[in-house]
C-alpha cells in the first residue's frame, strides 16, 4: 500500500511524510494483536484454566472406569468358563455311566446387575446329548432319520422322571438347589 501511494504521488517534499505515516500505520497494524493480547485480564484467564483441567480429568476418569468394566467383564467370562469346565468334569463320567448322556454345554443365567457368583444365580441350564462313540465323534455327523408319529402322543412322563433324577443328581454333585437346574436333552426336550 505504501508502494502504491509512493508511485501515485509525485516526487516532492510530501513524499517523506507519506512514507513515514504509512510506516506508522503498518507498525500499528502489526502491533495491534500483540497489544490486544497484553490488555486482557490475566486473572480471568487463570480462573478459566482449571475448567479445562476438570474436563480433562472427567474424560480420564471415564476412560479408567470403562477399562475397569472391560477387565471385570473378561474376568467374569473367565470365571464362568472355568466353572463350566469344572462342573462338566465332576459329573460327566457318572452321567455317561448311569444315563448314557454327556454334557454338551452348561449355561448360567444370573442377575445382570451383579456378577457375584453363585449368590445371584437364577438357573443353570445343562444341555445333554447321547454319548457318542469315539469313531462317531471324529466322523462327519450324518443327518438322522426323522420319524413323526401322529397316531400316538409322545410319552413325556418317562423323560420328565429321568430329567428330575438327573437334576437331583447334578444338584447333589454340584452343591446347588435342584430347582436351579434345568435339563435340556438333545432334540430340545426339557
Mean pLDDT by 10 residues, the chain (190 residues): 70 77 88 82 70 73 93 86 85 82 82 63 82 55 70 54 81 82 70
Q: What's the distance, CA 61 to chain centroid?
A: 18
Domains of the chain: which residue ranges? 62-185
Q: First and final CA of the chain: distance in angstroms?
A: 93
pLDDT, tens digit (0-9, with 9 covering 90-100), for 52-85: 666 777 888 999 999 999 998 888 888 888 888 8
Amino acid at each position: 500500500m505504501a508502494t502504491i501511494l509512493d508511485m501515485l504521488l509525485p516526487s516532492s517534499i510530501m513524499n517523506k511524510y507519506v512514507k513515514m505515516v504509512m510506516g506508522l500505520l503498518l507498525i500499528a497494524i502489526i502491533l495491534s494483536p500483540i497489544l490486544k493480547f497484553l490488555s486482557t485480564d490475566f486473572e480471568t484467564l487463570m480462573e478459566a484454566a482449571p475448567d479445562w483441567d476438570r474436563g480433562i480429568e472427567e474424560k480420564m476418569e471415564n476412560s479408567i472406569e470403562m477399562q475397569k468394566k472391560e477387565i471385570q467383564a473378561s474376568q467374569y467370562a473367565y470365571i464362568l468358563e472355568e466353572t463350566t469346565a469344572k462342573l462338566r468334569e465332576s459329573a460327566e463320567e457318572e452321567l455317561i455311566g448311569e444315563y448314557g448322556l454327556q454334557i454338551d454345554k452348561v449355561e448360567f443365567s444370573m442377575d445382570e446387575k451383579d456378577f457375584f457368583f453363585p449368590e445371584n444365580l437364577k438357573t443353570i441350564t445343562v444341555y445333554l446329548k447321547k454319548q457318542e462313540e469315539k469313531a462317531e465323534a471324529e466322523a462327519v455327523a450324518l443327518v438322522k432319520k426323522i420319524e413323526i408319529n401322529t397316531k400316538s402322543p409322545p410319552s413325556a412322563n418317562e423323560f420328565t422322571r429321568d430329567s428330575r433324577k438327573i437334576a437331583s443328581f447334578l444338584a447333589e454333585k454340584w452343591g446347588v438347589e435342584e430347582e436351579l437346574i434345568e435339563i435340556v436333552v438333545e432334540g430340545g426336550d426339557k
